[in-house]
Amino acid sequence: MEATLATHRTALVLSLTENGAEQLAQHPEFQPPGASTPKTQPLQSRYYDTDAYELSEAGYSLRVTRSGNMCLQTLESARTSSLAAGRDEWEWPLMDGQPNLSLLTTVLKPKLLPRSELREIFATDLRRVERTLELAPNSTIKISFDEGTINGAAAEPVRELALEILDGPAGALYHLALDLHAKTPLTMATESPALRGLRLISGRLPPSCKAAPIRLPAAASGAEAFHRLIVQCLNHLLVNQPAALAGGVEGVHQMRVAIRRLRALLRLYKPALDRLQLSHFDQELQRIGRIFGQARDWDVFCTELLPQANQPTDPVNLYDGLKAVAAQRRDEAHEAFIAGCRGRKFTATVLELAAWAEEGWNEPDRLGCAKLKQKLKNRAPRWLDRLARKVEARGQGISGANNAQLHKLRKSIKKLRYGIEFTESLWPRKKSRPYQKRCKALQDTLGLINDSSTSVALARTLRRDTQTDLRPAISALARYQKTQRESGLDELGKNWKAYRKEARFW
């Protein structure tokens, strides 16, 4: 039996508060004549995999869904949700409600087919309410409210709002989400029910991941590239949110990196962007970055810097008191981080950035300068020159620079390196790699020097939080970090000289 391919168009999924669906039902957009009559249907789904989770490992989920007298088997590409994105599903009607593995042969290659017997791993019991909204001529969006539970080793509630473009520009999706967000708080739903159920039953922590490689079309305009880069940065931010909220150190790190990349992208495009919009987004990203940065700094302090500082010659319990107080401060930073991720401003900033980039792709004047209609390759060299000059200026007198000056240089080299990552696909790889290598070596060395000063500063802030005498531990930490800083300074001169000798490839 051939599968029916149901490729969903641009869809945005958000999580609702407990009473969110009732509050949004009163929203003006949900009223006639623009809104259709809502249709309600129960959806009971059972998800299947092997004991070794072979389908999940291959990147798919398999479910059998019963709604009324209908029964469907659905294979879905089990990707973690990020920003608005499409997903592929293949559907087959079933007679008896039992999964039929042989049907998958029409879709999956033989090597991806499970070799072991399928079993039910978890189930979902949902109530779905659907309606369509005519926002304007040629602009139609389908709205779906899903409410119920995922039942695995434990139960987890589901309250999700899905917005799917049926007709019209994708920007309308984000503006509607912002309007609804103003009515009741929404948060980005960054895991599908399939992934949430798998996590519940397997006990696996959500994975973290680095930013995906960037490939821009050679003829991409500045506006088209800006849209692609904003979406890539937002995807990098959101795909790491489940891992970060679960307490994953690398998830927090990657979310902080994503915020820095967004700010670096705005800095790269600064000459062409509307000043008011640029200022608004930069300030909000900076605010978010400070919250994320605190969590990341305490993660590094507790999991890397303190363990590294503990030398064989030190007393056995030297750092115990410092570790205990630092762990408490780390917990507080993570609580603030979680509140920030789930906060109203975070969701609004993500949606506003997405809407701005989406509209600017079609109408570059909305972003700022009309020159964004030109090819990015024609504009990027001048923009990269600007960032490189900033590095050169801040690197003057590097041998006698203090910690604050070196920190500023580190931030400038990061902005330049990210700017190169955003645009390097416009040039032959062999031209850009040597320059990238010099930037990374310089950034790593400056990072080592920065960590040496930051760790001692963080330790000293802990003294007021305890009656334990932390002075011996802080003194030992300071001595260790002094040697690290001196080692970094020895490398810095060589790396700076090598960077200065490398010709700009653009």
Most confident of 12-21, 329-338, 420-429: 329-338
Q: Which of 203-207, 228-232, 363-367 has the lowest mean pLDDT?
A: 203-207
pLDDT beyond 70 at 4: no
End-to-end CA distance of the chain: 54
Helix or strand or coil: residue 76? strand
Q: Which of 56-65, 71-80, 246-255, 301-310 has the lowest mean pLDDT?
A: 71-80
pLDDT beyond 80 at 8: no
Query: In the predicted model, what is the mean pLDDT of the chain?
Result: 92
What tens digit of pLDDT does each residue of 83-122 get? 776 668 899 999 888 999 989 998 899 999 998 899 999 9
3-state class percentages of the chain: helix first, strand second, coil last, to nearest 5: 55, 20, 25
Domain residue limits, the chain: 4-202, 222-501
Q: Which residues contact 337 (CB under 8 A, 6 or more apart)?
A: 244, 252, 291, 292, 294, 295
Q: Which residues contact 415 (CB under 8 A, 6 or more apart)?
A: 264, 267, 268, 387, 390
CATH architecture of 4-202: Beta Barrel (2.40)
pLDDT beyond 80 at 413: yes
Reply yes or no on domain 222-501 having CATH 1.40.20.10. yes
**What's residue 82's pLDDT?**
61
CB neighbours (10 Å) of residue 213? 9
The residue among 417, 422, 418, 367 whose CA lies nearest residue 225 is 422
Instruction: State CA 81 to chain mean position distance.
Output: 10
The residue among 264, 210, 246 whose CA lies nearest residue 383 is 264
Task: State the pairing for strand pair 4-16/186-188.
Answer: antiparallel
**What's residue 464's pLDDT?**
83
Question: Whole-model pTM?
Answer: 0.93
**What's residue 66's pLDDT?**
92
Produce one character per residue of 139-159: b if its CB has 16 or more CB atoms within 10 Å, e if not.
Answer: bbbbbbbbbbebbbeeebebb
Q: Which of 18-27, 171-180, 274-283, 480-489 has the lowest mean pLDDT?
A: 18-27
Q: Which two tokens stand for residue 79?
A: 């990707």
Helix or strand or coil: residue 302? helix
pLDDT grade for 5, boundaries at 50, 70 and 90: low
List of long-range contacts for 37-42, beta carbons under 8 Å, 24+ apart: 37/131, 38/129, 38/130, 38/131, 39/129, 39/130, 39/131, 40/127, 40/128, 40/129, 40/130, 41/67, 41/68, 41/127, 41/128, 41/130, 42/67, 42/68, 42/125, 42/126, 42/127, 42/128
Task: Round to whole Å and give the CA distance between 297 and 326.
Answer: 11
**What's residue 258's pLDDT?**
98
**What's residue 7's pLDDT?**
55
**What's residue 455's pLDDT?**
94
pLDDT beyond 70 at 489: yes
Q: Are 223 and 364 in contact (CB under 8 A)?
A: yes
The residue among 49, 39, 165, 36 whose CA lies nearest residue 104 is 49
- Write the DSSP string, 78-135: -PPP-SSEEEEEEEEE-SSSS--GGGGGGTS-GGGS-SS--EEEEEEEEEEEEEEEEE
Letter for the amino acid at 383?
Answer: W
pLDDT beyond 80 at 485: yes
**Strand-pair partners of 49:** 119
CB neighbours (10 Å) of residue 117? 9
pLDDT beyond 80 at 146: yes
pLDDT grade for 170, boundaries at 50, 70 and 90: confident
Task: Round to whole Å and give the CA distance between 170 and 359.
Answer: 8
The residue among 334, 342, 240 whose CA lies nearest residue 16 is 342
Task: Round to whole Å and give the CA distance between 74 and 366.
Answer: 41
**What's residue 2's pLDDT?**
61
Task: Round to whole Å and give the CA distance between 82 and 150.
Answer: 20
**What's residue 77's pLDDT?**
84
- Mean pLDDT to the nearest integer, 283-287: 98
Task: Round to whole Å and give the CA distance between 345 and 242.
Answer: 18
- Containing H/E element for 167? strand 155-167
